[in-house]
Amino acid sequence: MTAKIALQGLAHEYVNPFTRERVLALDGLELDVADGEFLTVVGPSGCGKTTLLNILAGLVSPTRGAVLVDGRRVTGPGRDRGVVFQEFAILPWRTVERNIAHGLEIQGVPRAERAASVRRFVELIGLTGFEKKYPHELSGGMRQRVAVARTLAANPEVMLMDEPFASVDAQTRITLQEELNAIAQATRKTILFVTHNVEEAVFLGDRCCVLSRRPGRVKALVGVNIPRERRTWKLFTSDPSFGATRDHVLRLVRQEVSGEDGVP
């Protein structure tokens, strides 16, 4: 089986605009993501998680190495890779439904088809009745739902998510995580999800990729062997392998934060 996404010897260096220092964010990162896999990426802050995602999105060109999607080299943004950003990146001057339809509009999908798709996704994210609202009339959690729906409606093959639930409250986050899990199960999309929250990474991922501290490399890949059907927080946390996996990943991340090496 060939990988859906292949990262080959990825390295990225940039100049910090404030300190004018050269920063090596990623160095020699190798990673394969299978078709339909949900891969979560965790690591200490500043390890290049967001840089990695921006390179995958095609918004940043890597200094060295290559990103292949379906064997084709990524050279810029494309509709095959949808992105959900950490901040709410929906447009304030478009209503909920026009934001969700935006990707389809760009693809030239006829109006009637767009409307049908919008109805489906509005329902999926539970925002029925809010179609005509503007983003400033919605809560943070609702806005991020709209962003997720916009990306899903555009129907990309790969979804890239950059800490999408970091700025919503704890209750909403739990709901959104469970919803995303259901969506992943239903759509079988390849998803790469960056987070600094270890529990979230274990809850959502088929595999969890731990990055080393800067410059980021793959430190470990941890499989989560709990079926998607059992992934609601209630069932999931009562599964004995959840705690063990979480503690294992947490230990790996802590080693990178504290700089200890080789501690089992």
Partner 1 sequence: MTRQLVVTWIVLLAAVTAAWGLAAAMLPLPDYYLPPPTAVLAALGDLVAKGILPDYVAESVRRIVLAAVLGLVVGVPLGLILGMSRRVADFFYPLLNFFQSVSGVAWLPLMLVWFGFGERTILMAVNYTVLFPVIFNALLGVRSVPRLYVNALRTLGASPWRVARDVLVPGALPSIATGMRLGLAYGWRALIAAEMLVGANGLGFMIFNAQNFHLTARIMLGMGIIGVLWVALDYFLLRPLEEATVARWGLVQR
Pick from 198, 237, 231, 219: which is nearest to 29 by CA? 219
Pick from 222, 217, 214, 218: which is nearest to 250 by CA? 222
Using CB under 8 A, which of the segments 31-39, 84-92, 189-197, 211-219 binds partner 1?
84-92
Q: How far is the CB of 77 from partner 1 (least distance, A)?
A: 4
Using CB under 8 A, which of the segments 36-44, 133-141, 177-185, 255-263 binds partner 1?
133-141
Decide: is 139 part of the binding site for partner 1 (CB under 8 A). no
Using CB under 8 A, which of the segments 21-29, 72-80, 117-125, 230-238 binds partner 1?
72-80
**And the tokens for 164?**
């999408």
Q: Is the dihedral of CA 52, 57, 61, 62 positive or negative?
A: positive
Choose between 33 and 90: whose C-beta lies nearer to partner 1: 90
Contacts of 221 (CB under 8 A, 6+ apart): 207, 208, 209, 210
Q: How far is the CB of 81 from partner 1 (least distance, A)?
A: 7
Choose between 22 and 136: whose C-beta lies nearer to partner 1: 136
Q: Which residues bind partner 1 (CB under 8 A)?
A: 57-59, 76-79, 81-83, 85, 87, 89-93, 102-103, 106-107, 134-137, 150-151, 154
